[in-house]
Chains A and B, each alone.
Chain A
Amino acid sequence: MKKNDVILQTVTNVVAFMIILFSLQVFFSGHYHPGGGFIGGLMTSGAIVLLLLAYDIKTVASIIPIDYKILIGIGLFFAVGTGAGSLFFNVPFLTHAFNHFDLPLLGETSLHTAVLFDTGVYLVVIGVTMTIIQTIGESE
């Protein structure tokens, strides 16, 4: 069924990386600009979906050999773990902390535990979207 879509594939090769980079940008700037884990995750999965359309499921699975079901688990672990971590400091569950740090190369940066939580969201979203799409796409 698959035809050799040269144009689509060539464009995808370039565009997919741009989308992923942009999704990372969106993800990390979430606290200050539009974005965050949810959109970032969706966008990354959008890029993978584009790859799926241009190539096929087997090829993409060999390029990105990730079990997305496990990704869901890792994401949930991040999210719940960040929440539970606050218990170690005797503050209520899911209390976030932030502070400003002077990092090498990046200069003054504010670091939030919320980003860890958001990483969980990011991973879960990718995992969920890709699990669903891949299962439905694979089934005959």
Chain B
Amino acid sequence: MSLLHLAIIAPFLMAIFIPFLYKGFRRIHTGWFVLIVPILLFSYFLHFIPIVKGNETVTKTIRWIPSLNIELTAFVDGLGLLFALLITGIGSLVVLYSIFYLSKKKEQLHNFYVYLLLFMGAMLGVVLSDNLISLYMFWEFTSISSFLLIGYWYQRDGSRYGAQKSMLITVFGGLAMLGGFLLLYIMGGTFSIRELIGMADVLMSKSLFVPAMLLILLGAFTKSAQFPFHIWLPDAMEAPTPVSAYLHSATMVKAGLYLVARMSPIFAEHALWLWLVGSFGIFTMTWGSFNAVKQTDLKGILAFSTVSQLGLIMSLLGVGAAALHYKNMDENLFIVATVAAIFHLINHATFKGSLFMVVGIIDHETGTRDIRKLGGLMGLMPITFTIALIGSFSMAGLPPFNGFLSKEMFFTGMVRVLDMDFFSLDTWGILFPVLAWVGSIFTFLYSMVLFFKTFSGRLQQEKLERKPHEAPFGMLLPPIILASLVVIFGFFPNILTYNIIEPAVGAILPSLLKPGEHFVGHISFWHGFTVELFMTIGVITGGTLLYITYPKWKKVYTIIPEKLTLNSMYDRGLYWAETGSYQLTRTYMTGFIRTYLVYIFIFFIGITGVTLYVKDAFKLDTSNVAPIGSYEVVLALIVLAGSATILLAKSRLTSIIALGAIGYTVSLFFVLFRAPDLALTQLVIETVSVALFLLAFYHLPPLNRHERSVGFKLSNALISLGVGLIVTLVAISAHSNKLFDSIAKYYIENTHDKAGGENMVNVILVDFRGFDTMFEICVLGIAALGIYGMVKLRLTQGGKADEKK
């Protein structure tokens, strides 16, 4: 366990203490305690900057399940560090903001901060893991914690709906991704990403390469809300605004981008990668920005804008992959796309984070987020106004903010596609700059809508819930910091260039970076009268025209009928899945355990019997059988008599007692065959279960006539005879077929040396097969809670929960 690992699990550790801090210090907002964690982590991660700047990496390993090659490997390189800084940096600001946003009187703060910390830790785990399995584990942790955060106001229908939607879609993608990881493991024999990168050439020739790529991309696309999986993100806006600012703009949704960037060295030389990542990205960008314009909810606009911007970065990552086809650094014109991707990723986190916070402030101070009700806030909220101006103009790609710089590089990257003469990019490649341009026009448009509809025009006080005024300073500080970063990165982009961007790009395109060479030239505002500049001028003119004429063309949005939208398809799919599985289940679930036992036993007889027959496995071998003594015969007769009593008994009480007698007899068998542990366990279990039977017996309904009918008894008799026969056959065959050496020897030899014990049974339980025991007690616990739930929480006819006191 190193300091680096500790840093990753620090949020989890803190999460344990939150409920106690919440209860213990009611007068202090819990957020202040939480704030310590991201700030400390941020300063801790800062000290890696000089390390990764020199193209060095840090690796620390904890062995987790070595036999399966699963490790907890913390790995810091340029890319991981960039994300770690974003997560902890934006995280600090978001926590600070939330302290003022969430009322300590009304809200369940401890829940909120536990979820937020879980999320933070999970996210750090994702970006700093080298082992694919631990990456996957943390990845699903982010899905779960974001589910909890979106559903934080679980009393609202919308929150529950949004939480479920995001969970279903991202977990679906996550499972696909796990499949991709396993395929990579099958091909490469390792879960380590760095080792896989090292054998990228070998992997590419394998037949599983493309399926693995598709599955992993599915994971990345669902997480990063790429078309057509973007539908969960707007619904996720039901979460509290700090969560939206954090998860749905700065961090979690970028996990998909991270994954694509991380996997680029493995997959990028394949044409399909460039095409898929590039085209899905650029289409999402255009589609998202187009749809953002029609939104009337400020958060809705920002949600679609996030979808669009994620698409933008995704397309840049895809196009940037082309750089790998040119090994010569000096002439490699395509690296700019990857540089732009990383640069825009940082910029997006700054301006989108601040915009979300601004929207939160507006919501908080006016009581609405509807742009039809808002307007004229400029004079009342001057500071918020300034922040919003910086944020939205940067988002629109206007100078002198950082969004302008990265958007110009984005155009450069897209225009360069035309220079590529492979993968049939010379014909279809024209789509990239065209879509990029169209998307940017709409980006400009919705940024202006967001800004002007809120702050200019006439104040409509009658439509607002409360009288707007400037927000408290604590709420303003985080967006002010982010907005100043927007300006600083805009004027001095080169403070990032060699410290942050270049190591990150180096991690995405490792084969191209030679020591002492630089990828990135100076980023500057003025780059001459180039195509990009004219494109920008076109964007501004086109956007302004569309803004003025909006009422005339807004009917475009109603062209697609509601029935054909992705959202309604999702809803209908969910509906059919639910009703379909309900119908299916109703056909065989009768509610009687005896019916289920019949299914189980028939399957058991069928599968085991057929296997025994087909494999010709039945064998009777009496050469190695212990002599049968008089005790055993007597005990066997008692068991038989007990079974017969159960069958013939008229009352349940007799059956229960007879069953107990059989159990005790079996434990005598254990005594005879010198298994005191088993005998002891059997005795106690028998005692407890008889007591349990007697308790439950009181509640059982009387035996009904159905159970006395001949047909019922006959079929039951047949099934039980069949089960008895199969079990006997299996037991005899198992004894007679000795295919392997007994494993007992291993335990005999190692019980004392490795586990320091004398009692082999117990040593097996806790040492050699501790996993079994652990999961067994988990199952027991779940079963007990299940029984508790079933008995205590009875559903009444209307289906309403009616908990008994």
Contacts and interface: CB of A to CB of B under 8 A. Distances in A.
Interface of A: 26, 30-39, 42-43, 45-46, 49, 52-53, 68-69, 72-73, 75-76, 79-80, 83, 87-94, 96, 98, 110, 112, 114, 117-118, 120-121, 124-125, 127-129, 131-133, 135-137, 139
8 contacts: A31-B759, A31-B763, A36-B765, A38-B765, A52-B691, A125-B777, A127-B784, A128-B784
B777 A124 contact: yes
Given A92-B64, A132-B787, A79 B758 contact: no
A122 to B, nearest CB: 10
Interface in B52-75: 62-67, 72
A42 B788 contact: no
A128 to B, nearest CB: 4
Given A31-B763, A72-B784, A98 B756 contact: yes
Interface stretch (B322-330, B544-552, B768-776): B768-776
Contacts of B763: 31, 114
B788 A135 contact: yes
B580 interface: no
A31 B691 contact: no
Given A36-B766, A136-B791, A76 B759 contact: no
A76 B767 CA distance: 16
A90 B777 CA distance: 25
Contacts of B785: 69, 72, 131
Contact of B681 (A38, A79, A124): A38
Tell me which of A75, A87, A136 has the highest count of chain B C-beta atoms within 10 A of its own C-beta.
A136
Contacts of A117: 766, 770, 773-774
B488 interface: no
A87 B65 CA distance: 10
A112 B780 CA distance: 24
Contact of B756 (A31, A73, A88): A31
A118 B766 contact: yes
A125 B695 CA distance: 19
Per CB-CB distance, the 6 closest pairs between chain A and chain B, nearest first, are A31-B757, A36-B762, A32-B758, A128-B784, A124-B777, A42-B684
Secondary structure of the A contact surface, majority rule? helix
B699 interface: yes
Contacts of A93: 64-65
A85 B308 CA distance: 44
B744 interface: no
B569 interface: no
B694 to A, nearest CB: 9
Contact of A121 (B695, B761, B777): B777
Contacts of A94: 770-771, 774
A92 B66 contact: yes
A32 B766 CA distance: 13
Contacts of A96: 755, 766-767, 770
B777 A135 contact: no
A4 to B, nearest CB: 20
A32 B289 CA distance: 70
Contacts of A35: 677, 680, 759, 762
B652 interface: no
Contact of B691 (A49, A80, A87): A49
B784 A132 contact: yes
Nearest to A78: B777
Contacts of B804: 139
Interface string B722-766: 000000000000000000000000000000000111110111011
Q: How large is the interface on B (under 10, 10 to 19, 20 to 34, 35 or more residues)?
A: 35 or more
B783 interface: yes
A92 B791 CA distance: 40
B685 interface: yes
A131 B765 CA distance: 24
Contacts of A30: 759, 762, 766
Interface of B: 1, 62-67, 72, 676-677, 680-681, 684-685, 687-688, 691-692, 695-696, 699, 755-759, 761-763, 765-767, 770-771, 773-774, 777-778, 780-781, 783-785, 787-788, 791-792, 804
Nearest to B677: A34
Given A90-B62, A133-B691, A79 B774 contact: yes
Contacts of A124: 777, 780-781
Given A114-B757, A135-B787, A135-B792, 17 more contacts: A31-B757, A31-B758, A35-B677, A39-B677, A53-B691, A72-B785, A79-B773, A87-B72, A92-B65, A93-B65, A96-B767, A114-B766, A118-B762, A128-B781, A132-B692, A136-B692, A136-B791
B755 to A, nearest CB: 7
A128 B783 contact: yes
Nearest to B67: A92
A31 B791 CA distance: 37
B773 A46 contact: no
A46 B686 CA distance: 10
Contacts of A49: 687-688, 691
Contacts of B72: 87
B757 A32 contact: yes
Contacts of B773: 79, 117, 121
Contacts of A128: 777, 780-781, 783-784
A114 B773 CA distance: 12
A66 to B, nearest CB: 14
B688 A110 contact: no
Question: Taking each of A26, A30, A132, which has the highest tally of chain B beta carbons within 10 Å of its own beta carbon?
Answer: A132
Contacts of B755: 31, 96, 98, 114
A87 B1 contact: yes
A117 B768 CA distance: 13
B66 A69 contact: no
A34 B766 contact: no
Contacts of B765: 36-38, 121
Contacts of A137: 695
Nearest to B691: A49
Given A36-B759, A83-B774, A98-B755, A136 B680 contact: no
Contacts of B780: 72, 124-125, 128
A46 B688 contact: yes
A43 to B, nearest CB: 5
Nearest to A100: B756
A87 B72 CA distance: 10
A136 B783 CA distance: 13
A129 B781 CA distance: 9
Contacts of B699: 136, 139
Contacts of A131: 784-785, 787-788
A81 to B, nearest CB: 11
B762 A31 contact: yes
Given A114-B767, A127-B781, A131-B787, A90 B63 contact: yes
A20 to B, nearest CB: 13
A80 B755 CA distance: 19
Given A33-B759, A96-B766, A136 B681 contact: no
B767 to A, nearest CB: 6
Contacts of A53: 691
A117 to B, nearest CB: 5
Nearest to A29: B759
A67 to B, nearest CB: 11
Nearest to A75: B777
A114 B761 CA distance: 13
A83 B688 CA distance: 29
A118 B774 CA distance: 10
B763 to A, nearest CB: 7
Nearest to A80: B774
A110 B681 contact: no
A121 B765 CA distance: 10
